[in-house]
Each structure stands twice: as C-alpha cells, then as structure tokens.
Amino acid sequence: MHGMELLLQMMVVALTLAVVSQPVRTFPQEQEVRSEDPVTSNSACRCNGHSTCANGTSICNQPCGNFTRGPHCEQCVSGYYGNPVNGGKCIPCECNDQAAECHPDTGKCFCTTKGIVGDHCERCDPYNHYFGDPTNKGSCFYELTIDYQFMFNISGKNNHHYTQINFRNSPSNPAVDAEFRIACSVPSKLNITVKTADDVERPILTNHNCTFNQHSYWFSKAEYKFGALGNVTLTTFYVYVYDFRTPLWIKSSFSQPKWWKLL
C-alpha cells in the first residue's frame, strides 16, 4: 500500500509541473484614444489644427491660419468654403471673377451682377431677359426694348449681394435720334459704352453719378448709325450701373420718339 500511495503522489506532482510549465497566453488590452488638437498637446487648446494657444491657455492665437477664422478657427474666411473643424480644409470659391463670396458650406457663388446665375456665376439668366457671356471677364445685360420704360426693384434677402446691373439697347430706326433716361433711388455709379459693327466697345460716359433725379443722355443719328445691315446690328449701347447697395429701384429707358423726326 505504501508503494501504491507513493506512486500516486509522484504522478500528481508530474501533472502539476506540466500545467505550471505551459506558456501563459496574454490578450492585448483596449487602449484609450485621446483626441487632442493637431497643433498642440495642450488638451485645453481647441483651434482645430489652424492655430496654437499661448502660455498653456485655451485662447487661440489670432489670426487663424489656413484661411480660417473664429474664436476656435472653426469657420472659413470670406472667399473660401468648407468645414475646417478637426483639421478640415477651406477651399477657394470658384466664381469666375463675378463674386467675392460663396456659400460657406456648398461653395455656391453669390454673383454680384444681377442677371448672372449658376453655381460658379458662369451663365446669364435668359428666362428674365438677361443675355451675354459672363466668362472671361464678360457680363450679362438686360435687353431694354425701345420706347418702353422699365422699373427694376432690387430688394429682398435674395438680392442683398448685388452691387451691379447692366442694360443694353440697339436703336432700330436709322432716321431718328435716341435718348437714354435713368434714375436710381440710392446713389450709384454709371458707365455708358458703345459698340459698332466695325469697332470694339468704347466708353462714352465713365463714373457718372446716378441719383433719384432723372438723368437724360442724347445720341444723335448723325454721329451713330442706327438700325441693322442685313443681320448685322450697326450700333449697340451698353449701360453699367454699379457701386450701389440694396435695396433700391432703377428706372431706365431707351426711346426714339417718331415726332423727333419732324423737328
């Protein structure tokens, strides 16, 4: 019996040693992820990666970098759009040189000339009688029908970004002088140019004041050839009203009264 007990004790010791000698498997513990400002390790500094905080404070140094602004550099500056939070980027507005600002989220341009439309101010609005080509520093013009007076009311929240409106007219009667009249409810500036069939656009009046009182400009048939030759328009006048602030109204007209022919 003693021999049997001794044998059993030796077997238990051997099994214990085998278990102890087995390698111990360890599993990686979940690591804590800390979100810190990309620019500084100061956890109180929240500048979205576009500035730093001085002397361990939580105040972002101004101005912010990367075309951002705000107490925490959380917005894009004028002329840029995007989401600069958490190191995001601000992207330049692409407005075809026809706008200074765009929507801060979408990038849709706020065209500054009435009648220019499109996300990038790249086309005219023919449904409202604006024609032309705003690309390559061109523009759009409202077609003024001869012998009619037009009233343009530029007001409302969707028009606050406008600072310019353009008109054009091609007098059709070669035997009658033409007159242009205009009045502006708020102080504005006025340019008038002319383009003939055989010449480039050239200025007639530059930087004139447009005010509440009606202004009249006379164009003689002796100096300008009116009408058309076949499909070619002989003379076109262009009117640029600019440097105004909305709301405002503008009255304008081109006329060739037939009674002038009798004088």
DSSP secondary structure code for residue 28 in this structure = P
Q: Is the pLDDT of residue 56 over 70?
A: yes
Pair 203, 193: CB distance under 8 Å: yes
- 139 inside domain: no
Residue 197, domain CATH: 2.60.120.1090
Per the rule left: phi > 0, alpha: psi between -120 and 50, beta: everything else, 17 is alpha
Q: How many domains does the chain have?
A: 1
- 257 inside domain: yes
- 56 inside domain: no
Beta pairing class for 80-82 and 164-169: unpaired
Average pLDDT value for residue range 159-172: 96
Query: Domain range for residue 181?
Result: 144-262
What is the reported pLDDT for 180?
97
Average pLDDT value for residue range 26-51: 56
- 46 inside domain: no
Render pLDDT for 87-121 as a digit per residue (tens, 0 to 9): 999 999 999 999 999 999 999 999 999 999 999 99
- 182 inside domain: yes
Q: Is the pLDDT of residue 35 over 70?
A: no
Residue appearing with tokens 């007209």: 253
- 192 inside domain: yes
> The pTM is what?
0.78
| CA pair distance 168, 239, nearest whole angstrom | 6
Number of other CB atoms surrounding residue 70 within 10 Å: 17
Number of other CB atoms surrounding residue 98 within 10 Å: 23
